[in-house]
A and B are shown apart, each in its own frame.
Chain A
Amino acid sequence: MINFSLPPLPVEEVDARLADMDRLGSRDYAEIGVPMFLVAEDLTGQSPRPVIHDGSGRILAMLLAEGVEALRLRRPDLGADDIARLIEALADRHFLSLATPAFSRAADLHPVEAA
């Protein structure tokens, strides 16, 4: 198994992400649409069905964990609000992009094959 780790986020990128979280948090939530990712969790004790997915969840998981670690360097006492702000920022950045179909499966980009 390949053992690797990503280098830590550069200071500038941490600053930019924190600024983005502040920007998003200052909006008027009473009137706007806010995209969010919610984790589905089965508490009934049934074995979860295996999910075949495209890897977008793993990307989000990695970005969330990475964001928490970066934020912790600035503020060790993170709370629930910080998780909410991090996921909100991830959704703001990736909600649309991670829903884009694979290039080869985008039928309107391949009209000959689609026909």
Chain B
Amino acid sequence: MGELLLPGSFDETLAALVRGLSAGRMLRVVNFHATPSYRREEYRKQFAAYAGLFTPITPDNFASAFDGTWSDPRPGLMPVLFEGFRDNVDVMLPVLEEFGFKGWFFVPSAFPAVVPAIQRSYAKAHKLHLPKRDEYPDERVVMTWDEGRSIAARGHGFACHSRSHFELTPETPDHVLWDEIHTAANEMRAGLGQPAEIFCWLHGAEAGVNPRADAMLREAGFRYLFSNFKVQRLA
């Protein structure tokens, strides 16, 4: 885990979480990063188990999963795939589709455009952790925007994971925020052919950690912020 920042005191955060949970306002997510093929059977077994208990959260029903108007007797499940790695497309996507789930791809918007020859060094420099065993020697390790558009057209979800896999702090200057939020929003829109409504910082800072960032996220059209403990509706 990284360095988690809270907007208030520990007790304030805990009280908000206890209130939210006790009111039944929660989403169930499963967080993934790299999904190498040598773990394919592990992923298949897990989603076979999930399929018997959960209903997929999709871009079409996300709002009802969020606001408590979810009507399916089974709870919703949101598989979140961080970083936009190629193996999310090659390995996990077929598993999700086999069991009827929709993936939610949280992509740092600059990553797909990095040329393949330097994707590994970009990943290393930006805390994007590739699997222990390189399954694509001399090839790209990031999904392409062509793949992204195809995946989105099949009903899967996308979120903007900042531009450069950036960790927000209270002191982050405005010009950096602009790049990590507005430029990222533009790159997601250009890459996918549709806007991303969900945003998430590296290490999951929540609203209130940097109020200038919160205002800019709203200005850029983001409606939801995913953080370590919460999904927050911004607009």
Q: Which residues of A does B touch, CB under 8 Å?
A: 25, 28-44, 48-54, 56-58, 60-62, 64-65, 68, 78-81, 83-85, 87, 95-96, 99-101, 105
Contacts and interface: CB of A to CB of B under 8 A. Distances in A.
B172 interface: no
Interface string B110-142: 000000000000000000011110000000000
A25 B231 CA distance: 22
B46 interface: yes
- Sorting the interface of chain B by its residue count into under 10, 10 to 19, 20 to 34 or 35 or more gives 35 or more
12 contacts: A30-B33, A31-B33, A32-B39, A36-B31, A40-B233, A41-B20, A41-B230, A41-B231, A61-B19, A64-B14, A79-B4, A81-B1
B61 interface: no
Interface string B1-27: 100111000100110111111111111
Nearest to B234: A43
Contacts of A78: 10
Most chain A CB within 10 A, of B33, B49, B54, B234, is at: B33
Interface string B52-77: 01100000000000111100011100
Contacts of A62: 22
Contact of B30 (A33, A57, A60, A65): A33
A60 B17 CA distance: 10
B232 interface: yes
B73 A57 contact: no
Contact of A38 (B14, B23, B231, B233): B231
